[in-house]
Chain A
Amino acid sequence: MSTESQTFTEKYDLLGCIQCGRCTGGCPVTVRADLNVRQFVNDAYDEDKLGQLARLAEIWDCTACHTCAVRCPKGLKPLEVLIGLRSMIVESGKVEPTVRDALQSVLLEGNPWEKPRATRQDWMEGLDVKIAEPGVHVENLFFVCCTNAYDPRVQVTAKNLVKLLNKAGVDYAFLPEDESCCGSEVFTLGEEGLFEMTVEDNTEYLNEFKADRMVTLSPHCFTTYNTHFPDLKNPVIHYTQLMDELIQEGKLAWKGELAKKIVYHDPCYLGKQSGIFDEPRRVLKSIPGVELLEFERSRERSLCCEGGGGKMWVESESKKERLAETRIKDAKELGADIVAAACPFCVLTLEDAMKTLGYEEEMRVAEIMELLGEFTEA
C-alpha cells in the first residue's frame, strides 16, 4: 500500500504508461458510458487537474472488472487511477447518498447493506451450522460474505453449502457473528482509510482462527483477501475449488438429472482477476445430464455484469443497455436454459437483467451452489 508522501503520479506509476490504448480498447463499459481510462491516466500526470478530473461523473462508471489491468502490457492497473480519483471525492465527503450509507454501514455494522450486525447469522436459522472458535483447528474455515449473509435471494448459496458439507462429512466451521466485510467494495469505492482499517482489523481477527484454509463464498472476498491482505496466515480459496475437490474425491452423492443447457458466466473477480476458470466448469459438468455451453466472450474475455467496483451502490448515468442485459441476450441466442454464476453480485445483476428482458419463463439464472443443492443428496 502506498505511503501518503507519494505523489499521485508515483502512487499509480503514471509514467509507466505508454498510452498504447489496450486498456480503453478492452474496457467493457465504453459501450454504454463515456469512460476513457487511457485519457484519465494521461491527464492525471497534471496534479493541478486532479480535482477537476475527480469531479467527472464517469469515474463512477468503472466496474473494477480489471480488464484494463489484464490487458496492460506494462502490468499497470489503470482502473486504480479512477479509484484514486474517487478517493479524493470520498475524502471531501461529497459522495452519493447510497455510497455514503454503504461505507458508513461497513464502519458501524461490518457490512455495506445497512443491516444490523446482530442479524448477520439469521440465514443459519433451522440449519445445523458448525461455528468456528478462535484457536480451535478446523480444516475449512468459511467466510460467508455480507451479500450472501443478508440478501434473501443469494442466502441459498450459504444454506445449500452447509447442508452439503454436513452430508459430505467435511471438517468445516463458519466464522462467528463478528465476521466483518472484506472491504472489496470499500476499496473500489475509494475509501482508503476505511480499507486500511479493514485490512488491519480483519487480519488480526482472522488470524485468531486456526485452519488449513479459509473458504470464501464470494469471488470479491476471495480476490480481496488474496490481493490486499499480505499477513493472513490461512490460505484463501473459493468455494468452487472446494466443490471441485469434493467431486474428484467422490464425496458428493448425486440425485436426479439436470437435463439442461447451462452456460457459465465467469465472474470478473474469480476469472480474470484470480485465474479460476476450470473448477466451476468441472463442477457444472459433473451434475448428471448437464450440457455445458460457452459464451463467445468467456474466461479472460468474459463480459462484466457491472456488479463490481461499488456499482451496486452507484447508478450509471447512461441509459444504454446494461452489460448484464447484453449477457442474457447472448445466453438466449446460445440456447441456454440456465445461466450459472458463482458470485452473488453476478447472480443479482444477471437475474435483474433476465427479468427486465422478460425471459423469466424460458430461462433461469442460478448460483452454482443452488444447482448443487438441488441435485445432491443432503
Chain B
Amino acid sequence: MKSIVCIKYVPDTSEAEVKVNPDGKTVDDSRFSFDINDADNYAVEESVLIKEDKGGEVDVLSIGPKQSEVMIRMAMAKGCDKANRVEDDRIADHDPLMVAKVLAGAIKEQEFDLVFTGCWADDDGHMSTGVALAEYLGVNHASMVKKVEVLDGKVKAHRELEGGLMEVVELELPAVLTIQTGINEPRYAPIRGIRQAQKKELNVVSLDDLGIDPTEVGSDASQVLVENLYIPEVESAAEFIEGETDEKAEKLASILVKGGLV
C-alpha cells in the first residue's frame, strides 16, 4: 500500500486577534502560532494506521515555507517515510485549484494507491483542494471521510453527510480521500521521534523541479481574485428573561421555537 498524505501549515486564529493588513487583501499573521491544519493531522494519523495495518509506505507532500518543516518532521516521527516540500513564490496559493494543480504535478509521476488530504483547511476553509486534486489526477475520490476500510484493490469510505447521515461508498484504487476530523485520535510526536525523523528524506522542490509551468499555477491562471478582506461588524443583542423558573423556561422555549432553533 503506497499512500501520499498532503498537509498544510496554517495559522491558529483562535488565540490572537485577526487583523487585516493595510493592503486590505492579506491578514497580519505576525502574532499567530502556526501548526499542521487540524483535518490534515487526522489524515496523517489515518495514513499511518493503514500503513501499520497493511504495510507499505506513506509519503508527505506539502506546499509551504521552511518553517513548516517542523510539522513535516512531526508527521515523519509518527510514521511517514519521506517527504516533498514545495516552495515557490509563483504559486497562487489563495486559489485551491492552483494548489491542487501543484499537488497533482508533484504526485502524477508516482505509483500510489491512496492520497489523503484533510477535508478542509482552517485558514481559508474552501473544502475543495482534495476534490480538485482527484480531478487533476483523474482518480476516484470520497470527501468528508470518517472511516476507511481498505479492501483488495478497493477502499470502502464512510462519508459524513448533513444531519449526521453516513454514506458508505466503495471506490476502485487509486483514490483520493479527504479526511474529516474525529476519524481517529492523532498520536503525539515525541521529541526523540522528531530527532530520529531528521534522518528521513525530505526534499525541497520548486515548480521547475516538478516540471510545472509557473504560468499555469500563478495568479494569471487563477480564477480567484481577492478583492477585499474585512472583519465583519459584531452585532449583538441580549435579552434577560425575568420571572419565576417556570415562566423563564416557558419564555425561553417560546423564543427558541419562534427562532426555528428547536
Residues of chain A whose beta carbon lies under 8 Å from any beta carbon of chain B:
90-95, 97, 99-100, 103-104, 107-109, 114-119, 191-194, 197
> What residues of chain B lie closer than 8 Å to A107, measured between beta carbons?
70, 191
- Minimum CB distance partner of B195 in chain A: A193
Q: How far is the CA of A94 from the CA of B48 in the complex (A)?
A: 13
B15 near A119: Cβ-Cβ < 8 Å: yes
B16 near A116: Cβ-Cβ < 8 Å: yes
- Minimum CB distance partner of B185 in chain A: A97
A119 near B16: Cβ-Cβ < 8 Å: yes
- Minimum CB distance partner of A118 in chain B: B31
B78 near A93: Cβ-Cβ < 8 Å: yes
> What residues of chain B lie closer than 8 Å to A103, measured between beta carbons?
188
B246 to chain A, nearest CB (A): 23
Q: How far is the CA of A91 from the CA of B188 in the complex (A)?
A: 8
> What residues of chain A lie closer than 8 Å to B50, measured between beta carbons?
none
User: Given contacts A118-B31, A119-B31, is CB(A191)–CB(B190) below 8 Å?
Assistant: yes
A104 near B189: Cβ-Cβ < 8 Å: yes
Q: How far is the CA of A104 from the CA of B12 in the complex (A)?
A: 14
B187 near A100: Cβ-Cβ < 8 Å: yes
Q: How far is the CA of A103 from the CA of B74 in the complex (A)?
A: 13
- Minimum CB distance partner of B17 in chain A: A119
A-contact bits for B1-42, CB 8 A (1 contact / 0 none): 000000000001001100000000000001111110000000
Interface SS of chain A: helix, strand, loop or mixed? helix
B28 to chain A, nearest CB (A): 11
User: Given contacts A97-B185, A108-B70, is CB(A116)–CB(B33) below 8 Å?
Assistant: yes
Q: How far is the CA of A94 from the CA of B189 in the complex (A)?
A: 9
B191 near A93: Cβ-Cβ < 8 Å: no
A91 near B193: Cβ-Cβ < 8 Å: yes
- Minimum CB distance partner of A87 in chain B: B190
**Could you pull out 12 A-B pairs where Cβ atoms are within 8 angstroms?**
A91-B193, A94-B188, A95-B187, A104-B74, A108-B70, A109-B33, A114-B15, A116-B31, A116-B32, A118-B30, A193-B192, A194-B190
A-contact bits for B186-212, CB 8 A (1 contact / 0 none): 111111110100000000000000000
Q: Which of A95, A115, A192 contacts B15 (CB 8 A)?
A: A115
Q: How far is the CA of A117 from the CA of B12 in the complex (A)?
A: 12
B17 to chain A, nearest CB (A): 9
> What residues of chain A lie closer than 8 Å to B31, measured between beta carbons?
116, 118-119
> What residues of chain B lie closer than 8 Å to A91, measured between beta carbons?
190, 192-193
Q: How far is the CA of A197 from the CA of B187 in the complex (A)?
A: 21
B186 near A100: Cβ-Cβ < 8 Å: yes
> What residues of chain B lie closer than 8 Å to A192, measured between beta carbons?
192
Given contacts A115-B33, A118-B32, 17 further A-B contacts (CB under 8 A): A91-B193, A93-B189, A99-B188, A100-B187, A103-B188, A104-B35, A104-B74, A104-B188, A107-B70, A116-B31, A116-B32, A117-B33, A119-B16, A191-B190, A193-B191, A194-B190, A194-B191
